[in-house]
Structure 1
Amino acid sequence: MKLKICNFIKKNPLKALGIGIFLLLFIPVIIAVCMYIPLFSLSKGNVDGWLGFWGSFLGGILGAIGVIFTTYFIIKNNNKNVEDAAKMQDNRERDRHLSVFMLNKNEEAIFALNELNFKVAELLKCFIDITKQSQQIEKISIAESDKLHIANEKYNLLKDKEHSLRLEIMNKVNNLKSKTTYFDNILKKVLEFEGIMNAEKNEILNGIESKNYKYAKTMFDSLKSNYDKWLKEMNDLLIMNNSDLINEIKIPNKD
């Protein structure tokens, strides 16, 4: 019943106010009229005494109702504050768990980048070795067939190694992509790597095979320069991201 009355007041505050004013004005009139009913003349006491009794009685009822409603709204407000605080804490805890998850992914991306860098360094060295071996083959005369055969075998082994390294680099790049999926700006940077490698690595090999070593070196220097620049930017992004995520974990968001 009390809940229905509270809901009515909440939904219809103007009607509730009007009913309250009406009762405050109407009840004294009813009491005054009842004082003239012969039934009340049978009871002891005078008019002033009865008016005092009804005033105290009704005043006590109104006071009790006021206390009940005040207590109800205080409890309701406290419950709401507790629920809001619980939701806020839950949201903060979720944000913290998300930040920890993202931090782990970022650290995995740093590790994946280091693995990729190691393989790229191997590939760049392999290009240099292939170039040197190709130049060495040119210096061997056809008459030195055994020596030429050994040199060609070594050259082919280096080409196989280069091909194997390229496949490994592709796997490392895909691994790095998977680790940076949650970071749009870093993932976009990872995708640039494929463009850097694909644009110039084939040109380096074409230059070596056509004995145009000057062109091959130019393309090699270009590849290394672009890669070094890309690597620095990637490291800066990952380190900055790492720092931001650590701060989010240490300092909860204040709403």
Structure 2
Amino acid sequence: MNWWIFDELGNGSDDGWLGFWGGFLGAILAVVGVWWQTNKTIKNEKELMFSQKRPYIIIQESSVRNLAEIKDIFSSKNHTAYADEPVIVIKNLSNNPMFSVKLVFQYDNKKEDIVIDRIDPNSNIGIIINSDNIIEYLKKLGMIYPRQPEERDEFYKRINLIKEQGIKKSFSDNIKALKYFNVENKESEYINAIRITTKNYSINTKYELLKEFSDKYIHNNSILYEIPCKIKVTIYFTTTVREKVKLVFKKEDKKYRYQKNETKLENKGSTFTEKEYDTSDMYESYKLK
């Protein structure tokens, strides 16, 4: 076998070897540099595409009374919305929709989830939290001053018991409801309002005296519900390019401030467990009328 090639290489000078290895390593570094730059460009272009599909969200507070600025109102419990109910408003100020939205509210050692199928671009969605307390409030209020048809039907049933049991016993639950609003000391005035209302009761009977009592002692002196001073709102959603996103806001000094350090973006390597955000097992919360 002819070894002359290796002999020739073996006889090379130190400068020759340095030149050879310098060129060889330079070529490798050049390839790696091109690969790195190309990969970085691809990632930047991909991130640009994903970022352009992420919505811009802010959170504010309002009330059901201001329905004109709110498209829909959602709650974890179904009930007839009351005009003065406070509402947390999620505002999508971008041209990008949000899909499979999961909102997690943490306040007063409680945790409440609201699910919305979709939030449209440039739209406002209202959220009512602490529904259990609100429903109880409205139930007690409806006993004192019946507004809804079903409340008036129940009131009528009690009228039929007056002859046998008397007003105080027939309307004992209604009278007990006064204690919920801390106006039990107005019991005699309330019983008198019931007596006049039921004296000549008919289908056309009006409830003005009961309304006056409610307006005077309850509506003007009782707060339906106040949104807590401290509350954490976590928003999970999926964009139009199927990226999962997590945004966090905290209420501080009556303002909802975005917590950038708690953001999770799937395109940037963040992962989501099924327990945290599972789009395959989500059902929309109650939409209030």
Q: TM-score range by the shorter chain?
A: 0.3 to 0.5
Bigger strand fraction: 2
Q: Structure 1 or 2: larger helix share?
A: 1
TM-score by length of 2: 0.33
TM-score in terms of structure 1 length: 0.36
Higher alpha-carbon Rg? 1
